[in-house]
Structure 1
Amino acid sequence: MKFRTIAALTILPGLAALLAIAAYMNGVLRFNYPARSEFPIQGLDLSHHQSTIDWKLLNSENFDFVYIKATEGKDWEDPLFDSYWQQARSTKMKVGAYHYYRLNRTGAEQAANFIRTVPKERASLPPVVDLEEKNTYGKSKELIREEIRDYLSLIQAHYGKAPVIYSTEEFYNIYLKHEFPDTRIWMRNVFRKPRLSDGKRWSIWQFADKGRVRGIGCKVDLNAFHGSREAFKSFLAE
């Protein structure tokens, strides 16, 4: 009897840990649940990985904005961008587009790809560039930053809106820390509220990458805007 008790006490914590991991991987359990009282504006970001979406059902969820992947690198366009863009614009959510930045291409080449693909619409959210790639392809930090600046400058000149940088803490600390002081930051951290190492204030927080919402049959990224509803209106107008 004593042996069974000891065995059970040994096995149960491990089993509980495995169940918790499974729940997290399947989007049942999250580390972050930002309260609407603190983060009244929340949204999601999409790409072709979400496949078929029931937009009517999604529109019944309590989301305020959606960002849609448009492009990647020099010439890749998300095959579902046009469809998502048109359908999202018929919902109550504010809509924006993002570009996945590849370090093996210049900022100018990638800006041209995004501009070819994403309509210039006054009501759209500020454009976003996703900076997280680890492979530098032999480029120096200085060159990488210079090409990012080229990208941001061209995008702002075309759309008349200040672009937002989405990033991970790792990429931020290597390339962005103390740089781009006037650029808003969208930070990924699925474990805790972000805290930038240089003390800069972040504007959007990706708090989950395995969220579950009605209307989407797979896991999806969830995000919270850092500010009030009035601040979000100002963000839209930038």
Structure 2
Amino acid sequence: MNVLRRWWWLILMLMVAVATSFYCAFQWGFLRFNYPDQAVYPVQGLDVSHHQGEIDWQAINAQADQPKYRFVFIKATEGGDFKDPRFVRNWESAKNAGFKVGAYHFYRNCKSGREQAQNFIDSVPKQTDSLPPVIDLEFMGNCENDLTTAQLQAEIRSMAVALEQHYQQKPIFYVTQDYYAMYLQQGFEEYPLWYRDIFQRPKIAAGRPWLFWQYSHRGRVNGIDGVVDLNTFNGSVADFEARF
């Protein structure tokens, strides 16, 4: 009986050790659920903010014959008045390193759409060779509000319309599955989607297409200390260059 009990303890400890190893590998960015086939999704990219700290943009693709990462979305603003302290440096450095750049705004549910649009417009240059502006719509880290669904949708549309009028490009909506299902499934079909799913390829209700896919939030990339979000464009290199 004692021998059997020892074996059970050994098996249990081994299972715990394996589970801990997998958890740590995932948390530190050495293991992820999605590995998009580059033959199918050849246009890969990143999104960054001040959380990535100082980035060596020249080092990201330095070891590849062809650039693995072609585009980057850079956080510019949040809510009505926050401006990412590293946006200007990241924007200029990424462009100088040959990346196609775009900017994103973290949408605050408790601020008006017009106010948030102005914050973004005041911060992001109007450049015709840039990717369209992005409105980041998610619950994580957001603020509470007393708006009805219709009121919140109206505020989101107000921001989207203001950005389109200024930049002459239709904004992209970055969405999580739950936020999309609650607020955006109806009435925003004209806006391209950047869809977050770190477990599988996006499967959006009614077969709606996606333009970009954030497939990992803990990638490892040369030139960046720590983890970074990984993304892909839904199309070929020719498709990407023709569209942007």
* TM-score, scaled relative to structure 1: 0.95
Shift of 1:125: 0.6
Partner in structure 1 of residue 192 of structure 2: 184
Partner in structure 1 of residue 201 of structure 2: 193
| Larger displacement relative to structure 2 (174-183 or 129-138) | 129-138
Partner in structure 2 of residue 5 of structure 1: 7
**CA shift in 2, pair 1:44/1:80, >3 Å:** same
Partner in structure 2 of residue 68 of structure 1: 74
Partner in structure 1 of residue 103 of structure 2: 97
Shift of 1:55: 1.6
Task: Look up the equivalent residue of 2:122 and give its one-letter code.
Answer: R
Task: Look up the equivalent residue of 1:53 and give its one-letter code.
Answer: I
The percent identity for this pair of structures is 41
Shift of 1:135: 4.1
Shift of 1:11: 2.3
Output one character per residue of 1:20-50: Cα deviation in whole Å (capped at 9) or x when no partner: 0111001111111111011010100010001
1:153 aligns with 2:145: no
What runs of 5+ residues in structure 1 fail to find an aligned partner?
none
Task: Look up the equivalent residue of 1:205 and give its one-letter code.
Answer: W
Partner in structure 1 of residue 25 of structure 2: 23
Partner in structure 1 of residue 43 of structure 2: 41
Stretches of 4+ aligned residues off by more than 6 angstroms: none
CA contact (8 A) 1:178 1:198 kept: no
1:141 aligns with 2:143: no
Corresponding residue SS for 2:206: coil
Shift of 1:172: 0.4
Q: How does 1:101-116 map to 2 (within 5 A)?
A: 101-116=107-122
Shift of 1:136: 4.2
CA contact (8 A) 1:177 1:198 kept: no
Output one character per residue of 1:49-105: Cα deviation in whole Å (capped at 9) or x when no partner: 011111211242610100100000111100000111111110121011000000111
Partner in structure 1 of residue 124 of structure 2: 118
CA contact (8 A) 1:59 1:91 kept: no
| Larger displacement relative to structure 2 (44-53 or 191-200) | 191-200
Q: State how far apart, in whole Å, the 1-side matches of 2:94 and 2:86 are.
A: 12
Task: Look up the equivalent residue of 1:19 and give its one-letter code.
Answer: S
Q: State how far apart, in whole Å, the 2-side matches of 1:135 and 1:104 are.
A: 6
What runs of 5+ residues in structure 2 fail to find an aligned partner?
none
Q: State how far apart, in whole Å, the 2-side matches of 1:183 and 1:47 are.
A: 23
| Larger displacement relative to structure 2 (11-20 or 113-122) | 11-20
| Larger displacement relative to structure 2 (189-198 or 204-213) | 189-198
Partner in structure 2 of residue 173 of structure 1: 181
Q: State how far apart, in whole Å, the 1-side matches of 2:202 and 2:16 are.
A: 29
Corresponding residue SS for 2:72: strand
**Number of aligned pairs?**
236
RMSD: 1.3
CA contact (8 A) 2:107 2:116 kept: yes
Output one character per residue of 1:194-225: Cα deviation in whole Å (capped at 9) or x when no partner: 11123211111100101110000111000011
CA contact (8 A) 1:189 1:207 kept: yes
Q: State how far apart, in whole Å, the 2-side matches of 1:14 and 1:179 are.
A: 47
